[in-house]
Structures are given as structure tokens and as C-alpha cells.
């Protein structure tokens, strides 16, 4: 296929460009900063270096160091500072270089950022976005590969989203920007440059809390999100599975009606995510289906996930849900 | 703003009155906790002078990120006792809707931020607020208070480093009362707290936080340094926690009290003795001030106890600007019949 990256096209009166997730996020940040002076970026190596994944490339040159802030190496400092900025009139978009490094800031996220609206009776709010790349498949070993969404999805006051493509990356970032509450914006780093989609050049929203039906099918439902979405799509296409494929896009709050609707439609559910199985998002999805649609089930719910081990370096491919494991679960569900 | 050199009698008298009100309020809260009226308290006894000095030097536009032991600072800045009791009782008039345990105040109208339990975690927020004020070219500085225990946290380190790197107008005041629950400051750190400033490239100094005049004199320089935009400043105010860490704590297990309520070393007594010597007040004045304070606290608590409770369903509000389906569903669950 011809690489259309950067080519601007007009579709139905709207200009679109074929871009990857990094390009989409970069342009979105650029447009938000151009539109709104309250938007400031902060994080490690996001200015001079443009971010280790280049998501903030060239924004320092354009907006200056007051708005694109290279911070000292302190994740809790970044999150705490962003929280104070958000409480006092700014719209900070912070970057934590790798989600694996977010844990020094965990207290700030769980005990300050997410609770300030509640604990002040709604008199302060914290309109902050924390962007952070997550997931494996880039030979990053233990500390550049983790998928920690469950830690955040377990915390009231947070909103957790993860796009699987460049279109949703822009739409979800714009929706996160419009919220007056903290959002954990998780970016599947394996997909940063792996998938391209046609994205309108303008700012648009993808509603938070709404899953996307990527494929309509009748035999089995596959519920997934983020880094495993392309793997699932490839598997069902290659094997001709008549699957209903749901990309959750938001992990807190989950789109309970879309989850229940697809479970009731096919009666067979496979959940695919890269994060470890135990107490992963899949466990919550299973519980929601058990509570609301158990009578419709024709087979047990199966989960295809990362293993309950630290993320390995050698053999990382064994950790990641792949076509073989997905198809094995699909076949089990179909033949039950 | 007070200037030590020409501190008026009125200013000293007013500070004394605040100190007496703060002490009386503090003891009233503790006794109410013992009676089961208030759930919990972190006594403020002994730390009044440094807090009043901060309050005297702070301007209206300054943002204050205080900690849970700053009762006299609240009073000095004009927070009504009724609102303080509303928070302590968690009643229907509490600005925070009964969401926080006692002493975790937030008085936005008086430019107080919001108090959390994890020690030191507000310090990076103060830095962010200062960044925001600078960015928006707003008047005022940011003041953060904290105890000696907080100086061991990563938050303290992060905040002082960030404030310094970005040259922000933050005045850090450590109220070193000697104890972090049961740990003496000698076991908290081997360094002098004010000396830690040097590690961040900012000035630091120690003041006698148990003496109003020394506190004011010491703080004045720090305030004017920060106000002039030169960057952050660390002040260590040595003081003493006369009471227990909290109403759940028994200090007899781990220390012998060095300063007791009403003794000659008690900071309020020190001010009182000075004022008596200067002839600014007499014993009648002391008695009537204490009586007035007692009447104020007794009457206000009695009145606030009659305020209606927070409506139960409000526990589901303010999690987000607009609730998600989980909060909606769980709120309905609260009233579902069995």
C-alpha cells in the first residue's frame, strides 16, 4: 500500500490526513495549545527532545519554555505540580515518560489529584491530563512494558482512556481536554507508529465512556482495547471469524451497555487485553456480564491476557496475547 | 503588613487575642472529642506564635497550602469559628460536605487550599499553584506550611527542587514541633532542617517559632525575598507540640513533656509576660480575654451542633463534575428496598 502519511485529502467537505498515533497526538496538542493559552505541557524530555517518543516534537520551539516545560526527573513532582496548576486556572497536560515510572506519583494521583474535587465539596477541581505510554512489544523489559490500567481504573475520581488508533487518539485527547476532571490517557506505545488512520485535520471529540464497535458479527463477542486491538482484528479477519468486536476506548467508566449488548447478542464472550489477568479489566467486564447477562451466555467467558508474571525481556512475544491464543479461546467459546 | 520595628500595641494585642482564641478553641475541640461530639482532633497547642506571625505577614492574595495543624493561622486570617466547627462536625453547613475527617480544612474564600492526611503531599501542589500565579501574572505569593516529619518525604524534596528550578515565589515554612507522632526530630533527620535549603539553591533560616516577635522578625526577610520574585525560601520555625499528635495518641509512651500548657515556656505565656512587662496589658485584660474566648467557643459549638446533617445521598456527589453510571446506580442502590 502506498504510504499516504502527511497527504492531505478532502472527504465529504472535511480535510483529512493519513497519520499514525504519534502524529495525531502531536498535532492535537499543537492545536489545543494554539486555541487555549491555559494549556501547558510538562514532563521529562518533552521540550528540547520532543519527548522520547516524539509526541511533543517541535512544540517547545512553537510555544516556548513557559508552556512546554522540561521538568526535573520527578514523577511525583510532575503530577503534584500539574495538580496545583490545574486547581489554579491552568489546563496542564503532563507526560509520564513510561507508565512503568508513574508509581512514585501514585500517592499524588490516588490521594490528591483524584480526590480534590470530592474532598473540597466540589470547590476545587483538577482538570489535568496525564499522558503515558504503556505496554510491551518494544523490547523494553520489566520497566518499559507494563500495562497498569487496573491500578488507575480502581480509583474513583479518575477517568481512564486508551486509544487504539490515530482517530481515537485525537478524539479522546480532545474529550479529555474538555473535562474538568483528571484523566489518565494511556498510549499503547507498540501502536504509536504501527497503525495509520485517516484523521480529520480539525479538533473533534470521541465521547468518553463510549466503546466502538469495530466489526459486527453474530457468533462470538471479542471485547478488547488499546494495544491488542489490531491483533484481535487480524486474528478474526485471517480466520474468518464472524465476531462482534468491541474496542472499549474508555476503561473508567466502562461502556456497560455496549458490553452487555454484545454479550446478549452472541452469548459467547472472549476478552483480550495485554495487562495481567488477575484483577485486570477483563475481570470487571466478566463480572458486569455475569450480573447483567448471564442468562444469555452460551459458553463461559474466556480471557486472553498477559500472564501473571513480571513482563519478561527474552520471549516477550510469549507474554503478549497473539493470534494463536486468541483463536484458541475463540474456538473454545464457539465449541462449548 | 506588620513591620517588627514599629509593631503597634494594637497589633500585639490583636495577636494575643488570636492566640488565646486559638488555644481555647483547641482545648474545646479536644474536650468535645472526649465527650464524643467531635470525632477526632490534631491538637494545635504550642504552635500559635509562628502561625499567627505567618498570618500577620501574609497578604489577602497569597495562597496558603497549610497542613492539618494550623488552627491559629486560620483564625489569624479571619476564618469564622462557626465554619471551623462545621468542618469538625461534618455537618450540613460544612463547605466540604462532610467529606473529610476533622482538621482537614479547605477555605477557598480565605485562599487556603485543601488539607490531606498523607504528610507533605500538598507541597508539590503549592509549587504548581505558584507556577500558575506567575503564568497568569497574578499578585501574591504561595505559602506552604508543614511539620518536621514532612521534610523526610519525597514530596518535600520534589517541591523544593521544582520551586527552585523554576524560580517560583513559594515560602516554605516548616513548623518543627520536635515530634512526628512518636519520632523525635533528631531521629527524623541528621541535618538542620533550615540547612536543607542549601541543597536546593535557596536561602534558609531558623526562627524561634515560640516567640511572636522573633517569628515576625525572621519571617519578614523571607516574605520580602519571596515577594520580590527572587525565588523560594525555606524557614524552619522551632516550636513545640504541647499536646499529643492526635486525640488517638498517648505521648506518655514515648516522651517526657518539655513544655506544658500554661508554664513559663508556653509561647502564649511568654507573650503574655512580655506584654505585662511592657505594660500593654494587665491581669484583668488577660482574664477577660480568656473568658470572652471561652464564651465564644462554647456558644459557637452549641449553635453548630444544631445544624442539620449532610444529606446521605450527597456522598455520591463531586466524585466527578457529572457522575458516571456507577455513581448513579450506587446512589439508587442506597434507597432500594430489600
Identify the structural domains of chain A with CATH numbers, from first to last.
13-200 (3.40.50.970), 212-335 (3.40.50.920)
Contact assessment for residue B201 and residue B212, using Cβ atoms and an 8 Å cutoff: no
Q: What is the pLDDT of residue A249?
A: 98
CA distance B301 to B283: 27
Closest C-alpha to B271, from B336, B188, B209: B209
Strand A212-215 and strand A220-224: pairing? unpaired
Strand A14-20 and strand A196-200: pairing? antiparallel
- Cell 531521629 -> residue: B187
Cβ-based contacts of B135 with chain A (< 8 Å): 40, 66, 90
* Same domain flag for B153 and B40: yes
* Same domain flag for B135 and B76: yes
Known catalytic residue at A144: yes
Residue B163 near chain A (CB below 8 Å): no
DSSP label of A68: E
Q: What is the CATH number of the domain that holds B208?
A: 3.40.50.970
User: CB within 8 A of B65, min separation 6: which ones?
Assistant: B113, B122, B123, B125, B126, B129, B142, B143, B144, B145
* Same domain flag for B129 and B114: yes
Using left for φ > 0, alpha for ψ between -120 and 50, and beta otherwise, residue B118 falls in: beta
| Least Cα separation, residue A83 to chain B (angstroms) | 6
* Same domain flag for B13 and B146: yes
DSSP label of A109: I
Torsion of CA A248, A254, A259, A261, to 10 degrees: -110
Q: Give the domain extent around B331.
A: 313-338
CA distance A44 to A42: 7
The residue-averaged pLDDT of A179-206 equals 97
CA distance A87 to A97: 23
pLDDT(B1) > 50: no
pLDDT in tens, A34-70: 999 999 999 999 999 999 999 999 999 999 999 999 9
Cβ-based contacts of A72 with chain B (< 8 Å): 161-162, 165
Q: What is the pLDDT of residue B6?
A: 76
User: For the stretch B108-137, what's the b/e string if a residue is b when 16 or more beta carbons lie within 10 angstroms of its beta carbon?
Assistant: eebbbbbbbeebbbbbbbbbbbbbbbbbee
Contact assessment for residue A57 and residue B100, using Cβ atoms and an 8 Å cutoff: no
pLDDT in tens, B94-104: 999 999 999 99
pLDDT in tens, B57-74: 999 999 999 999 999 999
Contact assessment for residue A63 and residue A33, using Cβ atoms and an 8 Å cutoff: yes
* Same domain flag for B34 and B55: yes
pLDDT in tens, A209-221: 999 999 999 999 9
Q: Complex ipTM above 0.85?
A: yes
Computed on alpha carbons and rounded to an integer, the radius of gyration of chain A in Å comes to: 20
User: CB within 8 A of A294, min separation 6: which ones?
Assistant: none
Reduce the DSSP state of residue B186 to 3 states and report it. Answer: helix
* Same domain flag for B152 and B259: yes
Q: Which band of pLDDT confidence, cut at 50, 70 and 90, is reported for residue A8?
A: confident
Q: Which residue of B has its CA nearest to A107?
A: B121
Cis preceding linkage at A253, omega within 30: yes
Contact between A120 and B108 using a beta-carbon 8 Å cutoff: yes
Q: What is the pLDDT of residue B302?
A: 98
Q: Which band of pLDDT confidence, cut at 50, 70 and 90, is reported for residue A6?
A: low
The residue-averaged pLDDT of B205-219 equals 97
Count: domains in chain B: 2
| Total Cβ atoms within 10 A of residue A152 | 24
Contact assessment for residue A176 and residue A29, using Cβ atoms and an 8 Å cutoff: no
User: CB within 8 A of B12, min separation 6: which ones?
Assistant: B212, B271, B275, B280
* Same domain flag for B20 and B63: yes
Catalytic residue selected from A144, A154, A273, A315: A144
* Same domain flag for B184 and B317: no
Query: In chain A, what percentage of residues exceed pLDDT 70?
Result: 98
Q: Which residue of B has its CA nearest to A209?
A: B324
* Same domain flag for B333 and B271: no
Contact assessment for residue A244 and residue A215, using Cβ atoms and an 8 Å cutoff: yes
Q: Which residue of A has its CA nearest to B133?
A: A88
Q: What is the pLDDT of residue A282?
A: 98
pLDDT in tens, A235-288: 999 999 999 999 999 999 999 999 999 999 999 999 999 999 999 999 999 999
Using left for φ > 0, alpha for ψ between -120 and 50, and beta otherwise, residue B229 falls in: left
* Same domain flag for B57 and B86: yes
Residue A272 near chain B (CB below 8 Å): no
Q: Which band of pLDDT confidence, cut at 50, 70 and 90, is reported for residue B241?
A: very high
Q: What is the pLDDT of residue B3?
A: 53
Contact assessment for residue A301 and residue A269, using Cβ atoms and an 8 Å cutoff: yes
Round the average pLDDT of chain B to a whole number and report it: 96
Contact assessment for residue A199 and residue A60, using Cβ atoms and an 8 Å cutoff: no
Which of B141, B200, B318 to mutate: most A Cβ within 10 Å?
Answer: B318
| Total Cβ atoms within 10 A of residue A238 | 10
Q: Which band of pLDDT confidence, cut at 50, 70 and 90, is reported for residue B24?
A: very high
Strand A183-188 and strand A129-134: pairing? parallel
User: For the stretch B309-335, what's the b/e string if a residue is b when 16 or more beta carbons lie within 10 angstroms of its beta carbon?
Assistant: ebeeeebbbbbbeebbeebeeebeeee
* Same domain flag for B323 and B230: no
* Same domain flag for B271 and B321: no
Which of A73, A85, A116, A120 to mutate: most B Cβ within 10 Å?
Answer: A120
pLDDT in tens, B154-184: 999 999 999 999 999 999 999 999 999 999 9
Amino acid at each position: 500500500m502506498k504510504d499516504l502519511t502527511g497527504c492531505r485529502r478532502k472527504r465529504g467537505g472535511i480535510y483529512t490526513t493519513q497519520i499514525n498515533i504519534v502524529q495525531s497526538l502531536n498535532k492535537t496538542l499543537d492545536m489545543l495549545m494554539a486555541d487555549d493559552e491555559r494549556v501547558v505541557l510538562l514532563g521529562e524530555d518533552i521540550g528540547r527532545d520532543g519527548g522520547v517518543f516524539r509526541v511533543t516534537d517541535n512544540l517547545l520551539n512553537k510555544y516556548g519554555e513557559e508552556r512546554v516545560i522540561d521538568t526535573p526527573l520527578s514523577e511525583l513532582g510532575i503530577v503534584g505540580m500539574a495538580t496545583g496548576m490545574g486547581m489554579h486556572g491552568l489546563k496542564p497536560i503532563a507526560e509520564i515518560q513510561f507508565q512503568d515510572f508513574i508509581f512514585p506519583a501514585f500517592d499524588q494521583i490516588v490521594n490528591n489529584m483524584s480526590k480534590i474535587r470530592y474532598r473540597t465539596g466540589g470547590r476545587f477541581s483538577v482538570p489535568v491530563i496525564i499522558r503515558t505510554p504503556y505496554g510491551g512489544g518494544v523490547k523494553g523489559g520489566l520497566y518499559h512494558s507494563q500495562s497498569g490500567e487496573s491500578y488507575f481504573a480502581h480509583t474513583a475520581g479518575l477517568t481512564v482512556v486508551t486509544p487504539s488508533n490515530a482517530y481515537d487518539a485525537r478524539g479522546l485527547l480532545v474529550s479529555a481536554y474538555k473535562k474538568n476532571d483528571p484523566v489518565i490517557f494511556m498510549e499503547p506505545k507498540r501502536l504509536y507508529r504501527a497503525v495509520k488512520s485517516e484523521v480529520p485535520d480539525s479538533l473533534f471529540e470521541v465521547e468518553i465512556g463510549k466503546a466502538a464497535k469495530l466489526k459486527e458479527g453474530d457468533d462470538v463477542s471479542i471485547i478488547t482495547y488499546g494495544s491488542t486491538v489490531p491483533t484481535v482484528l487480524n486474528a478474526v479477519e485471517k480466520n474468518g471469524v464472524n465476531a462482534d468486536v468491541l474496542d472499549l476506548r474508555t476503561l473508567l467508566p466502562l461502556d456497560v451497555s455496549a458490553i452487555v449488548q454484545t454479550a446478549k447478542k452472541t452469548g459467547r464472550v472472549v476478552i483480550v487485553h495485554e495487562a495481567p489477568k488477575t484483577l485486570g479489566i477483563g475481570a470487571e467486564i466478566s463480572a458486569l456480564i455475569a450480573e447483567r447477562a448471564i442468562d444469555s451466555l452460551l459458553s463461559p467467558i474466556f480471557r486472553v491476557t498477559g500472564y501473571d508474571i513480571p513482563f519478561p525481556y527474552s520471549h516477550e512475544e510469549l507474554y503478549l496475547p497473539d493470534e494463536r491464543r486468541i483463536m484458541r479461546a475463540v474456538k473454545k467459546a464457539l465449541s462449548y | 503588613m506588620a513591620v517588627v520595628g514599629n509593631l503597634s500595641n494594637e497589633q500585639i494585642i490583636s495577636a494575643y487575642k488570636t492566640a488565646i482564641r486559638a488555644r481555647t478553641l483547641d482545648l474545646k475541640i479536644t474536650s468535645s472529642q472526649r465527650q464524643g461530639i467531635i470525632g477526632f482532633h490534631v491538637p494545635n497547642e504550642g504552635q500559635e506564635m509562628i502561625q499567627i506571625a505567618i498570618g500577620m505577614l501574609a497578604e489577602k492574595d497569597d495562597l496558603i497550602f497549610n497542613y492539618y495543624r494550623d488552627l491559629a493561622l486560620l483564625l489569624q486570617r479571619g476564618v469564622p469559628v462557626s465554619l471551623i466547627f462545621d468542618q469538625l462536625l461534618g455537618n450540613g453547613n460544612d463547605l466540604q460536605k462532610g467529606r473529610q475527617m476533622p482538621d482537614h480544612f479547605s477555605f477557598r474564600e480565605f485562599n487556603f487550599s485543601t488539607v490531606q492526611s498523607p504528610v507533605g503531599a500538598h507541597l508539590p501542589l503549592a509549587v504548581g499553584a505558584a507556577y500558575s500565579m506567575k503564568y497568569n501574572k497574578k499578585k501574591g505569593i504561595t505559602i506552604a506550611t508543614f511539620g518536621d516529619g514532612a521534610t523526610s518525604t519525597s514530596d518535600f524534596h520534589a517541591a523544593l527542587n521544582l520551586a527552585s528550578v523554576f524560580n517560583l515565589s513559594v515560602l516554605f515554612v516548616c513548623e518543627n514541633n520536635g515530634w512526628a507522632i512518636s519520632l523525635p526530630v533528631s531521629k527524623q533527620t541528621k541535618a538542620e532542617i533550615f540547612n536543607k535549603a542549601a541543597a536546593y539553591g535557596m536561602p534558609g533560616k531558623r526562627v524561634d517559632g515560640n516567640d511572636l516577635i522573633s517569628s515576625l522578625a525572621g519571617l519578614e526577610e523571607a516574605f520580602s525575598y519571596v515577594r520580590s520574585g527572587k525565588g523560594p525560601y525555606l524557614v524552619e520555625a522551632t516550636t513545640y507540640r504541647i499536646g499529643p499528635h492526635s486525640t488517638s495518641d498517648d505521648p506518655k509512651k514515648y516522651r517526657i513533656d518539655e513544655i506544658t500548657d500554661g508554664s513559663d515556656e508556653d509561647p502564649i505565656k511568654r507573650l503574655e509576660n512580655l506584654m505585662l512587662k511592657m505594660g500593654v496589658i494587665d491581669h484583668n485584660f488577660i482574664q477577660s480575654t480568656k473568658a470572652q474566648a471561652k464564651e465564644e467557643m462554647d456558644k459557637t459549638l452549641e449553635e453548630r451542633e444544631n445544624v442539620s446533617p449532610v444529606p446521605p445521598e450527597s456522598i455520591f456527589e463531586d466524585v466527578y463534575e457529572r457522575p458516571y453510571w456507577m455513581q448513579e446506580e450506587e446512589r439508587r442502590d442506597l434507597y432500594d428496598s430489600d
